[in-house]
Amino acid sequence: MSLLIKNGVIVTAMEEYKGDILVEEGKIVAIGKDLEAKAEEIIDAKGMYVLPGGVDQHVHFSFEFNGSKVRGFETSNAAAVGGTTTVIEFVNQIKGKGLIDTIDDYRKENAEGIAMVDYSFHGIITDPSTGVYDEIAKLPEAGYPTVKLFMAYKGMFFHCDDDVIAKSMQKAREAGVTIMVHAENADLIDVLQRECVEKGQVEPYYHAVSRPPMVEVEATERAINIARLMDAPLYVVHVSTKGAVDAIKRAQDEGLPIYGETCTHYLTLDKENLAKPNFQGAKYVCSPALREQDDMDYLWESIKNGWLNAISSDHCGFNWAEQKHMGKDDFRNIPNGAPGLENRLGVLWTTGVETGKITRSQLVNLFATKPAKINGLGDRKGHIGVGYDADIVLYNPNHKSVISNETSLQGVDYNSYEGMEQIGRPEKVFLRGQLIVDEGKYIGQQGQGEFVPGKAFGLCYDGVER
């Protein structure tokens, strides 16, 4: 099928211009002004901004906490209506099983025939005893060129000590695999959590008290030093505080291949949300914890200046009424994470573009282009250009709405951004040239999403000698 999108303002990470886009067999085959090509369908995008479909490199459709599991790929239509056409899911290695087999099996059982947008995967090392270090070299061939390691969560099966991080980095560097870390000091958090509970401080707000900025700063600096020693690239996920940004920036100024992302909620929500009465604060329990206004302001500065190069949702769909209430008497038992997959583009447009904090091109770079490159998808996803997948968002800047869980597709009983005004919306969304969102409503089909294999030596290896 051929498709011609005319008269829109095309926005890329480098520029914006008025033009037409011709799509054939799911790929962009021509871009120009006043294209006269014949097409089976013609869309007039006048008044719209034409953006590449978003790439959300940080989502959780399988995360479990104390036996309770988040909503899965059956809610991935939430990504589509939010202008995200590719998601990258984290998969915990099963004890006694290899990374590749774990991800392959998970993919067949939980994503194929279910996902409504395209998808890829990060592996999470949980059992180094299985020969996983040698397996790292094989990950790119399987299409999984990224691995995440948890420095946080002492006592949990996915926690990794420094030796695991160092050994993984050694093997990853040779294979072009990007190592990502959740940087928080697990031992310090454990001490602070125990102190809070001993004092009877068990409400959700003490989640933030027990995870102060310093535990993130220390772990970030330690991870950078391990990467320095191993002569390897490093990607720090969900950076939330000024000190962690500064640690990354110092490393970059030294010429080290150290990178990081932040998330929508760290740019827009502060820790006072955790103090909401009647256990409402539990809705905002995520790790790292929400921060102060000064940290939020600095994060905006960091993405504008390129010190952090992606904005993810860190989507994690636990229900409040049932699952979050497991921690009613002890904040340590509140499942960490919050939904946000559906709202990433709208919130960033409203709070970033409309306020002048970032430009439209910077938004595209942070929302789509850089995440694709980081994860080895940069030759297909995250950009409007000839030869790329026709993942296209027609964004209507004149639409106004109020975010409400009543209309959400995220499948949980609350929305982190409830009541927030949103300027604009994805009016139409195309996945490989197929219309899956029309007038802001999902009209696609379950199982429409496809696996997109990532390639080795992603953006974090730029400038690294091989």
DSSP states of 30-96: EEESS-----SEEEE-TT-EEEEPEEEEEEESS-EETTEE---GGGTHHHHHTTEEEEEEEEEPPTT
Per-residue pLDDT tens for 239-287?
A: 999 999 999 999 999 999 999 999 999 999 999 999 999 999 999 999 9
Residues 168, 181: Cα–Cα separation, whole Å: 11
Phi and psi at residue 131, to the nearest 5°: 80, 25
- CB 236, CB 180: distance < 8 Å: yes
- CB 20, CB 390: distance < 8 Å: no
Q: What is the value of pTM for the model shown?
A: 0.98
What are the structure tokens assigned to 212, written together?
A: 């102060």
Summary mean pLDDT of the chain: 97
3-state secondary structure of 214: helix
Residues 317, 211: Cα–Cα separation, whole Å: 21
Q: Which letter, b or e, does each residue of 229-241 get, where b requires 16 or more Cβ atoms within 10 Å of its Cβ?
A: ebebbbbbbbbbb
Res. 47 pLDDT band, cuts 50 70 90:
very high
Per-residue pLDDT tens for 280-333?
A: 999 999 999 999 999 999 999 999 999 999 999 999 999 999 999 999 999 999
Domains plus CATH for the chain? 54-382 (3.20.20.140)
Q: Residue 105: is its pLDDT beyond 90? A: yes
- CB 202, CB 329: distance < 8 Å: yes
Neighbours of 29 (CB within 10 A): 14
Q: Give 273-281 contacts, CB < 8 A, sequence gap 24+.
A: 274/204, 274/205, 274/207, 274/208, 275/203, 275/204, 275/205, 279/204, 279/324, 279/325, 279/328, 281/203, 281/204, 281/205
What are the structure tokens assigned to 202, written together?
A: 């068990």
Residues 216, 220: Cα–Cα separation, whole Å: 6
Taking alpha carbons only, the member of 334, 438, 444, 329 closest to residue 394 is: 438
Taking alpha carbons only, the member of 218, 354, 374, 360 closest to residue 308 is: 374
Identity of the amino acid at 295: D
